[in-house]
Structure 1
Amino acid sequence: MSRLENIFQKKKKPVLNVYFTAGYPSLDSTLTVMEALAKNGVEIIELGMPYSDPLADGPTIQESSNKAINNGMTITKLFSQIEHCRKNSHLQETGIVLMGYMNPILQYGFERFCADAANAGIDGLILPDLPAFEFENSYGAIIKKYGLNFIFLVTPETTEERVRKLDNLSSGFLYAVSASATTGGDTDFDKVNGYLRRLASYQLNNPVMVGFGIKDRQSFEAVTQYSHGAIIGSAYIKILSEAADIDEATTLFISGIRPKL
């Protein structure tokens, strides 16, 4: 059983996944932020690999990505930073997922990337621009070879047939995008909950995590009525951008989303 699967099996409350951009707000912030999140009970950390042309990210995450690139963050440096993360007592059981785009990974070398990710203690990958066809025929076998989970995204417009296909290809969890938009926008949660109820009725193989537009306790509790948990990104990036003390700011932010477990 993978670490991600174990998290969902053991969960007592809806799972909280928090995204942040590696190398932001400063180049050496990555492990500091990860430890702060894990100390405050965040079960899954989604590490964004900065990229200059992200297709799913709204302005807040794009800005953090640009800053991280200017700080000197690269895939090589990221692996170097997190290589010993599992030795940190707070991070031993935390799920760690890399979210990014294919272009820099292909430049790095796809199999080399998967091998180095696994060696660094990464649990899974989210690559929004890797098509299901390419996953099935080229890349999925490499991902599985190194014991990594792979998470596909679905939207409110995704047909039931397509949802089931992507669910069958995914492992760890299925990422339910709350709306067909970029990250950080406003969300109509009445509409979202109809969509999530529909997904729940399919009795999918994987837990469903909801992302895009989740920013506070109200939105977190709204979407987790009909899902296994939620993903917060842009709202936390904004907190990091203003934080004088990352640990203190993270504690305050997470306590406002969900009481510490």
Structure 2
Amino acid sequence: MIGETTATAARLREALGAVVEPQASELQGYRRRPRESVNQPPLHPDFITRCRIALGRLVAVEDEGVIAVCSARRGEGRSSVAAAVAYGLSQSRSDGRVLLLDLDFGHATQAEAFSVAPTPGIADFLEGRERLRLVAGGPNRQLWVAPAGTHLGDRLRLLHQLAGESLIEVFREKFQWVVLDLPPLIGHPETMTLVRSSDWHLVVGKHRNTTFAELREVAGMLGDEKPAGFLLTGDSTRIPNWLRRLI
């Protein structure tokens, strides 16, 4: 297992170097591949501002790390929040690169949100079928998006591979901020292996959709080991007092 871990991490490290750093062949005038670029996600400015405020409360003055954006179930706005957080980081808090990893392999949305091709992506690379593909954009091309791609095997294995082989740590080496758009926590216990690899947890709930019982269950799963924040989508009403400790 150790040999496999080292080999996968080394392959990812080499691939990241080739993708995010200038290549000698490019500097010497060789023909370059057409450059893709991410577009601004179609999110309301007020929504981006709310996400930026929630992010500021969560990470305070820290200037690097991994943020896991998670939710109890689907349809709660988690992926939109992840996109807004990554976009906001690239606009206001980053002197280096920001990476958004779409790891909800069964219901990927970030490629569409940023108007880039959905494949190849992380799944294609991990399954050994394609080279690593990340798409950059924004000011100074600081924002990078890793589409989920197409998985042919078990998507649970991909999540275990990312966590068990410490691949998130490899992404840390090249990016100041890494934002994880993760599958829902309830009913997907395998997601917790990646949640534990992050520095902060941002929990997303939706007004009149997410129940208090579900949020309590999520809070119990996350525990108190890492700082956690909460963002309510779909409404701006008052948050119950028992949730304020997560803000």
Q: TM-score range by the shorter chain?
A: 0.3 to 0.5
TM-score, L = length of structure 1? 0.38
* Greater relative contact order (CA < 8 Å, ≥ 6 in sequence): 2
Higher helix share goes to which structure?
A: 1
